[in-house]
Structure 1
């Protein structure tokens, strides 16, 4: 891989494709809506105007759900981005983590990006914006030191002093506000001494009430609540997985937010990194988007299966 590829993000392996899917938990269905053989897309966000945005090759792309057509969104003053991006509640702008380690805000229609953080020694991985649009949540760690546990931080969107929230000594990731604004959901390694054993948790925005949402033998990442707060989905890796790697057999599980122990939908697929790093629920709260990455020469990777339920290919 060239230095430019490292800077701009992952690329598809030979014989690999990126498939965009939409799951509808109430119907127990998952439908493939598009596939791409020349661009590795990641991390869908669902916008209020019923289109998606994804990142790929360091850019943000708009996706027409009906046709799957991709259109790059032209930004000025924005370095190549990664798969941590969150639409702002104003419906007009989006917050983005760039590969220079900083967080930016930019118009969804395209235009000049504004830098929110400006600390070259710290990497900022954005995952959440508060429902009122005033504050964002991210994970920070020293730039280039991926062996150091990430710390949960919140920062005014307008800029200013950041505040650290104590969630223990273990690495945390994926901080995302609940729709009521009272809680931040994360995955955390603070509940176990097993290396990399991430578990789902939440903490109040004032730093109190840190609690585990699910005690699991698997490695669970990226809890995403639906807009009504009634449903949630998360990404589950096999036990012993370190981090959230790409190209693994994983499960996407959907639960009712009042009981995280019983999945109401369980999807088996080949993916991981890029599948669902950020919240991809539709504004109506009945569907969510995700990405799989099948390999042509490996039949075991080519199917998204709704476990104990139907499946429909697009």
Structure 2
């Protein structure tokens, strides 16, 4: 296990006495392994397609670490941009990281490091991009846009070509949406939304063209970020206590598992976390394990 790397102090600060624990766990909750401990906030791990490396963000930068924690972490060079948030995905061929920046845009950076290439478009009205998914063929990105001026903001799901191109709207409601990710076969986009009950996020899926919306969770808990597994057999998601607004940090949360159609929902692990724990798809390529970040603290 690697301990206490030095990250930039940008972004969310930990509570006094709090630490970040980058953790890998089996799908059934067994063999939990902390591979990195830091005194600063790290967030949103995901895996390289060859399973050798985990990618995560900290302090506005993007980092890599060997998947068993034996080497790293090391920062991936991103040129002049050093203000990335915790929404990023990897291309299926493992060559490109697509990132959301606090400048409101999406950018592509080689996994080996380099100058960012902007993917997203300029808009005449506010349209802030937050990336969450990439199609299995690597051709399309799914994201949420925060649209409109202060006091009238809407959060809806869009897609955009990974090479750049026009934005395609998939939802158009005042109820917020988040976390859109493609299924392994590219047929579905999984997401969470308050469309069924204001202030109470649940997990949904829809066809990749925005049709055929299905609600998957119906319980009293607040459910976020459904992540389909690479083999198409499972979905892991983040479950907050009832009444939680949004997806805040520093909550007692549960990581839960369900079938792609929403059946067989059950707990995997309870932890202190929330924002940053599992914002992006963190399944290992073999679909037997996934990564997350816990934030234990003196309380």
TM-score by length of 2: 0.91
Instruction: In structure 2, list runs of 5 or more residues that go unmatched.
Output: 1-7
Equivalent residue for 1:151? 156
Instruction: In structure 1, list runs of 5 or more residues that go unmatched.
Output: 299-314
CA distance in 1, matches of 2:30, 2:218: 25
Equivalent residue for 2:5? none
Equivalent residue for 1:310? none
The alpha-carbon distance between structure 1 residues 199 and 159, as it changes in their structure 2 partners (threshold 3 A), is same
Equivalent residue for 1:271? 273
CA distance in 2, matches of 1:203, 1:237: 23
CA distance in 2, matches of 1:238, 1:94: 32
Kindly state the Cα deviation for residue 205 of structure 1 after the two structures are TM-superposed: 1.1
Kindly state the Cα deviation for residue 144 of structure 1 after the two structures are TM-superposed: 7.2
Equivalent positions of 1:279-298 (< 5 A) are 279-295=281-297, 297-298=298-299
CA distance in 2, matches of 1:167, 1:220: 21
Equivalent residue for 2:4? none
Equivalent residue for 2:25? 23
Q: Return the match for 1:262 from 262, 265, 285.
A: 265
Equivalent residue for 1:34? 36
The alpha-carbon distance between structure 1 residues 55 and 147, as it changes in their structure 2 partners (threshold 3 A), is farther
Equivalent positions of 1:1-314 (< 5 A) are 8-26=10-28, 28-37=30-39, 39-49=40-50, 50-66=52-68, 67=70, 69-119=72-122, 121-142=126-147, 145=150, 148-166=153-171, 168-193=173-198, 196-263=199-266, 265-295=267-297, 297-298=298-299
CA distance in 1, matches of 2:171, 2:103: 26
Kindly state the Cα deviation for residue 167 of structure 1 after the two structures are TM-superposed: 6.0
The alpha-carbon distance between structure 1 residues 9 and 107, as it changes in their structure 2 partners (threshold 3 A), is same
Secondary structure class of the residue paired with 2:281:
coil
CA distance in 2, matches of 1:167, 1:215: 22
| 1:187-236 superposed Cα distances (whole Å, 9 cap, x missing partner) | 0100114xx20000011012210110121111000000110010110000
Kindly state the Cα deviation for residue 34 of structure 1 after the two structures are TM-superposed: 2.1
| 1:253-302 superposed Cα distances (whole Å, 9 cap, x missing partner) | 12232443431x4211000000000000001110000000111x22xxxx
The alpha-carbon distance between structure 1 residues 138 and 64, as it changes in their structure 2 partners (threshold 3 A), is same
The alpha-carbon distance between structure 1 residues 18 and 190, as it changes in their structure 2 partners (threshold 3 A), is same
The alpha-carbon distance between structure 1 residues 12 and 205, as it changes in their structure 2 partners (threshold 3 A), is same
Secondary structure class of the residue paired with 1:150:
strand
Paired residue total: 288
TM-score by length of 1: 0.87
| 1:121-178 superposed Cα distances (whole Å, 9 cap, x missing partner) | 3210000011111111100013774862301111111111111012643100000001
